[in-house]
Amino acid sequence: MMNQIHKTNAFENILVNKAQGSWFWDINENKYLDLTSGMWCCNLGHNHPEIIQAIKNQLDKIIHKNTRFLTPTTLEAAKSILNFFSNDYDKITLLNSGSEAMEFAIGFARKATKQLDILSLKDSYLGAYGLSKESSYTSQKASKLKIPYPICNSTQCKCLEEYDSLINHIIENYASKLACFVLEPIMVSGGIIKPCSNFISKLCKMLQEVGVLIIVDEITTGFGRAGKKFGYECFGIKPDIIVLGKSLGNGYPVSSIITYEYVESKISPNNMYYAQSHQLDPLGAAAALSVIDVFKNDRIIEKSQDKIKNFNNFFETLSHPCIQDIRSYGMIFGIQFQPYANFSTKELILNLKNNLLKEGIMIGISLGKDLIRLLPPLNISEKEIEFFKQKIVKILNSID
Amino acid sequence: MMNQIHKTNAFENILVNKAQGSWFWDINENKYLDLTSGMWCCNLGHNHPEIIQAIKNQLDKIIHKNTRFLTPTTLEAAKSILNFFSNDYDKITLLNSGSEAMEFAIGFARKATKQLDILSLKDSYLGAYGLSKESSYTSQKASKLKIPYPICNSTQCKCLEEYDSLINHIIENYASKLACFVLEPIMVSGGIIKPCSNFISKLCKMLQEVGVLIIVDEITTGFGRAGKKFGYECFGIKPDIIVLGKSLGNGYPVSSIITYEYVESKISPNNMYYAQSHQLDPLGAAAALSVIDVFKNDRIIEKSQDKIKNFNNFFETLSHPCIQDIRSYGMIFGIQFQPYANFSTKELILNLKNNLLKEGIMIGISLGKDLIRLLPPLNISEKEIEFFKQKIVKILNSID
């Protein structure tokens, strides 16, 4: 029956039937530690009991409605999401997917600025289709507006000495036609790369001064994933528009666009119309509302800091000739491989993935970027981390 | 708190809190007959108990997973959806929104044909963003590939005498660069218009002969909405790709793309990769599986035929100088207005909408097309239809 499914991925020969916390089970009751949080969505772990209950409660009332109507749950979720930010955002809508929310955000920025162009960093992944894909590294479309950037982790860096001229070049030559700069704070799909914060901070400041809107893609980096509440906090910037997805629903498909009244007020009301079947639907709102509650009440992000340290301490000790580099930002970890002995990088990564799966551990891989990627749930236990450490050391040691 | 929501619509000053069958309730316990089935999504009525229970059962197991994995529920839903068609479709995937599914379908057709152009009828609405929007009447973008078409309801028509030359013109001048013709069987958003079936049938046949793929948008017209199981059955055509959304989840956000192995086989496996956070997720699959079960077991489409007749008999008797035209296709009804007395068409429509809402009836409106639109649940009761009839007659009679 697997043959009936479009081959959009190299599907594993395992049927998954149950999930809870950091684990999922196949139909033969084998269990696997999920170090990808599904598709980087379940920052609170799979099937979090409070969120499941909140969805069930909403199922008993109303799940869907015409976009001409709002519901109390939708308004409550809107307020709770806005309040979750330290900045004073005051406008929001809810959609289903992150890509769709990014399309909405870019369209919104175009209407507000009456400009069309979109600036992005060349290794960003911003969406699966449309304008967000065109601005991503996954698009074939060449563009001078997908720009290079310096990489560093220091605030005392000298990156601007080299990159100041690029910023000036952008302001002088492109800025007048730019609607927005779309920033992915950590380029996770693009290789787990964090751009220099001095560069980003100055670029954003100068763009905002000439009226270009800053859109931040927090679909993956939001909700504690990058070690802070939101990834953009790394750069000391104040985005005009924020896009949320993935962890906003912790497994339920809901996304959001957050901005300011002063930005929306630049758009004529007739030009704001947008209708999607499930926009502002109460079922997604109930999921999002519950997610925010769990983050607040259980102090998830604060408590994740020790686990991040635990992972980082381990990765500092981990070495093998097949490992070229290890990068980490918050609860995002990437191990970059290089050819070793008779193995190509691809063989090393696939073998590691397959052997870990046999040992009950599921990791993410990016053959295009020579990476294995780990984005575990933020509430993974120390015991679960220990289980991973033992298994990966065992398998790395067996390579020869 | 309503002010915090992006003004994507002229929101009614009513907060909706509960829904069941053909009805929803506001926070003051006022009830409303929903003649729009939400956003044309709940062909089986709001919060159908079997579908709600199926979603709850799935919530207890697993709602989300990495796209590298499949689940038994996903495979079961895939098989059930494919079997719901009389044609022998054998390839499918599941996504969240109809627009996203249409983007996938067009991208798929482009890869399979190695051509880029997209043909559509000029009044089609195919999606909210991206390529599907560009091919829709809602896009500002002019294009010779958004073509005119004859309108008629007879199979004995002479439409081809006039339109044969257009078909030949398309085949000769555009077909070699076309990836696909995207057909919305009834253009519901575009004005409730059905193109001539002889024209569509001949156009599709000649396009398919030269390798152009036929994509049918069944997001609104599928699942009995157009009076048949699927809208394309009106034309005696065999689509290469079918896009489902809306009623596939009956209020839950799930969509699907259905096609043939022989089409997918034209695409190199490396080029098939597509990853969306909730692609093939088991929660949407559980909803879709349950929807198909209800359609089959309760013979919904067969039983809706008498209700369609009831509506049509009523509309044949309904007349008022402010009514210019009444159009109906299956369970899709449009009443077109014209200026009357001192009232503009817009005033007439808004007054009717507001007065019906006060009387406990929710209708759809399209000010751009001078229409009120009714897409009731297929399982609306005779008593509910009677309620609507009495109220609309009462309000129309009060206009002077």
pLDDT in tens, B328-341: 999 999 999 999 99
pLDDT tens, residue by residue, B353-379: 999 999 999 999 999 999 999 999 999
CB pairs under 8 A between A and B: 292
> What's the pLDDT at A11?
96
B89 at the A interface (CB within 8 A)?
Answer: no
Give the largest Cα separation in chain B, rounded: 66
Q: Which pLDDT belongs to residue B2?
A: 85
Partner-chain contact A4 B62, CB within 8 Å = no
pLDDT for B274: 93
Suggest the residue from A62, A76, A246, A247 to mutate for an interface test with chain B (most B CBs closer than 10 A).
A62
Q: What angle do helix axes B300-317 and B282-297 make, rounded to 10 degrees? A: 70
Residue B98 has pLDDT above 90, yes or no: yes
Q: What is the mean pLDDT of residues A312-316?
A: 98
Task: Please list every residue in chain B whose beta carbon sits closer than 8 Å to the beta carbon of residue A56.
Answer: 56, 59
Specify whether the CB–CB gap between A320 and A396 falls below 8 A: yes
pLDDT at A8 over 90: yes
How high is the mean pLDDT of chain B? 97
Give the residue from chain B lying closest to A365, CA to CA. Answer: B68
Q: Which A residues, 174 through 233, put their C-beta within 8 Å of a C-beta on chain B? A: none
Q: Does A47 touch chain B (CB under 8 A)?
A: yes
- A233: amino acid identity, one letter: E
> Could you tell me what percent of chain A has a pLDDT over 70?
100
pLDDT of residue B296 exceeding 90, the answer is yes
For A222-260, give one letter per residue: b (16+ CB within 10 A) or e: bbbbbbbbbbbbbbebebbbbbbbbbbbbbbbbbbbbbb
Average pLDDT over residues B250-276: 95
Nearest CA in chain A to B363: A66
The secondary structure of residue A46, as a DSSP letter, is B
pLDDT > 90? residue A140: no
Q: What is the mean pLDDT of residues B81-103?
A: 96
What confidence tier does B60 reach under pLDDT thresholds 50, 70, 90? very high
Residue B153 reports pLDDT greater than 90: no
Q: What is the pLDDT of residue A141?
A: 86
Q: How many CB atoms are located within 10 Å of the residue B289 CB?
A: 21
- Asked if pLDDT for residue A123 goes beyond 80, the answer is yes
What is this structure's pTM? Answer: 0.97
pLDDT digits (tens, 9 = 90+) for B274-293: 999 999 999 999 999 999 99
- Interface check for A19 against chain B (CB to CB < 8 A): the answer is yes
What is the model's pLDDT at position A338?
98
Predicted pLDDT at B154: 86
Average pLDDT value for residue range B48-62? 98
- Check CB contact of A21 with chain B, cutoff 8 Å: no
Stretch B139-147: mean pLDDT: 92
Beta pairing, strands B23-26 & B31-34? antiparallel
Subunit contact A277:B46, Cβ cutoff 8 A: no
B19 in contact with chain A, both atoms CB, cutoff 8 A:
yes
A392/chain B closest Cα distance in angstroms? 20
The CA distance from B181 to B117, in Å, is: 9
- Tens of pLDDT, residue by residue over A266-291, are 999 889 999 999 999 999 999 999 99
User: Is A112 a residue whose pLDDT tops 80?
Assistant: yes
Say if residues A331 and A224 touch (Cβ distance below 8 Å): yes
Mean per-residue pLDDT, A359-386: 98
Of B41, B276, B362, the CB nearest to A99: B276
Rg (CA), chain B: 21
Per-residue pLDDT, B144: 95
Residue B27 · residue B17 · CB < 8 Å: yes
Predicted ipTM?
0.97
Cβ atoms B291, B247 nearer than 8 A:
yes
Spatial neighbors of B195 by CB under 8 A, at least 6 apart, are B121, B149, B150, B151, B187
pLDDT in tens, A15-59: 999 999 999 999 999 999 999 999 999 999 999 999 999 999 999
Which of B24, B40, B63 is facing A65, going by the closest CB pair?
B24
From chain A, the residues in CB contact with B96 under 8 A are 96-97, 253
Domains of chain A listed by start with CATH number: 49-297 (3.40.640.10), 301-400 (3.90.1150.10)
Mark A53-75 as b/e (b = at least 16 C-beta within 10 Å). Answer: ebbeebbebbbbbbbbbbbbbbb
Report yes or no: B246 at the A interface, CB cutoff 8 Å. Answer: yes
Mean pLDDT throughout A159-165?
96
pLDDT at B64: 98
Helix (H, G, I), strand (E, B) or coil at A181: strand
A220-252: per-residue pLDDT in tens? 999 999 999 999 999 999 999 999 999 999 999
Do residues A323 and A112 make contact, with C-beta atoms less than 8 angstroms apart? Answer: no
Cβ distance of B277 and A98 shorter than 8 Å? yes
Band of the pLDDT at A211, cuts 50, 70, 90? very high
Determine which of A152-166, B24-38, B371-385 has the lowest per-residue pLDDT on average. A152-166
Mean pLDDT of A329-354: 97
Alpha-carbon distance A262 to nearest alpha carbon in chain B (angstroms): 12
| CB-based contact, A14 to chain B, within 8 Å | yes
User: Longest Cα pair distance anywhere in chain A, in angstroms?
Assistant: 66
Helix B197-209 to helix B159-173 angle, to the nearest 10 degrees? 20
Whether pLDDT at A400 is above 90: no
Q: B31: number of CA atoms within 13 Å, CB side?
A: 8
Q: Is A12 on the interface with B (CB under 8 A)?
A: yes
* H or E stretch covering A49: helix A49-59
Q: Please state, in angstroms and rounded to a whole number, the distance separating the CA atoms of residues A34 and B12.
A: 44
